Amino acid sequence: MNATATDEVTAASAAPASSPGLRPVLTKAAGWVVKIFVLLIAVEIISTFLTSDSLQWSTVWEYMFDDRVLTGVWQTIKLTVIAMVLGCLIGLALALMRLSHSVLLNAVAGAYVWVFRGTPLLVQILFWFNLASFLPDLSVGIPFGPEFGSSPTNDLITPLVAATLGLGLNEGAYMSEIFRAGILSVDQGQSEASAALGMTRGQAMRRIILPQAMRVIVPPTGNQVISMLKGTSLVSIISMNELLYTVQVIYSRTFETIPLLVVASIWYLVLTTVLSIGQYFIERHYSRGATRNARPSVAQRLRLTGRAESHDGFFSSPATQPADGRVVDQETK
């Protein structure tokens, strides 16, 4: 009786022993199936774009460096820079107003964010472009008092001004929340220590709080810059000669719609790629000392991923890089 029970227990404990040896093989096989499937889809998409007759790649390369297209690219870059600078300045001012102890400043900043974040950007651009229908003349003076000067609205609100106001004022509402979140992420003890050293609130904000808040502010700001670059295409509706409007003018005469849209897409991809690279290095600069290990570069991540996959399989737990550079699996660490 005892011998039979012992044999059953031994057999039961030995039965699952074969499954751990088979599991890595199945994991690697499943990983390769997923990789091959993804590769086939990518090859099919690339092949469709490269071999399609409707894309007319000869036309695409003909217009890629056309003077009109390059002028549109320059206008897009210029509009992005101006609107982002305006948005950052407005956002910082609104963030400080939201963090102040004044009820009036809090209410004004909250109302600004509510209006500009709650209405579509395209509507705001159209509103500024058609401002003359609401205010035929713009004047400078004392409210409810004498005017020092005035000018027709149509002379002041050009397509560039309307685009800058629409994009910049809208961006200010979003940047205010980014700045406010970054400032609030700094420990309150930093402000108290600054006050103990005799600094004013302004000096503490410039020298202590904002430099530390940049670690939180930079990543979303980089995303906002990229979003702003693509958002400039909306101003084509007011005939602002940026990149999209430029190619629209060209294909309205040549009827080569798809090739010209591909030209615009390639330029947008190039510009966003450059901005993404710049954002990556700026993030690395401000993240120094904030974490135990600095964020690895793209090449380092690819190298670590390849070494981890070759060692543990496709669906293994993520690998980490300690200070000595070895790849250590989370389950075995």
Q: What is the pLDDT of residue 325?
A: 43
- Supply the pLDDT for residue 59: 87
H/E element, 156: helix 153-156
pLDDT tens, N- to C-terminus, the chain (333 residues): 455 555 554 544 444 444 566 778 788 888 888 889 899 998 888 888 777 777 788 888 999 999 999 999 999 999 999 999 999 999 999 999 998 888 999 999 999 999 999 999 999 999 999 998 888 887 777 777 777 778 888 888 899 999 999 999 999 999 999 999 988 888 888 877 887 888 887 788 878 888 888 888 888 999 999 999 999 999 999 988 899 999 999 999 988 888 999 999 999 999 999 999 988 888 887 776 555 455 555 566 666 666 655 555 444 444 444 444 444 444 444
* Res 81: pLDDT: 95
CATH tag, 67-140+148-243: 1.10.3720.10
Please identify which residue in the block is written with the tokens 């992420």.
185
Domain residue extents for the chain: 67-140+148-243
pLDDT, position 54:
72
Contacts 24+ apart (CB under 8 A), 92-98: 92/175, 92/176, 92/179, 93/176, 94/172, 94/173, 94/175, 94/176, 94/179, 95/175, 95/176, 95/177, 95/179, 95/180, 95/183, 96/205, 98/176, 98/180
pLDDT of residue 92: 92
CA distances from 251 to 112, 239, 255, 257, 261 (A): 39, 15, 5, 5, 9
Distance CA 282, CA 192 (A): 29
- The answer to whether 108 and 302 have CB atoms below 8 angstroms apart is no
238 and 247 in contact (C-beta within 8 Å)? no
pLDDT of res. 141: 74
Pairing state of beta strands 147-152 and 319-320?
Answer: unpaired
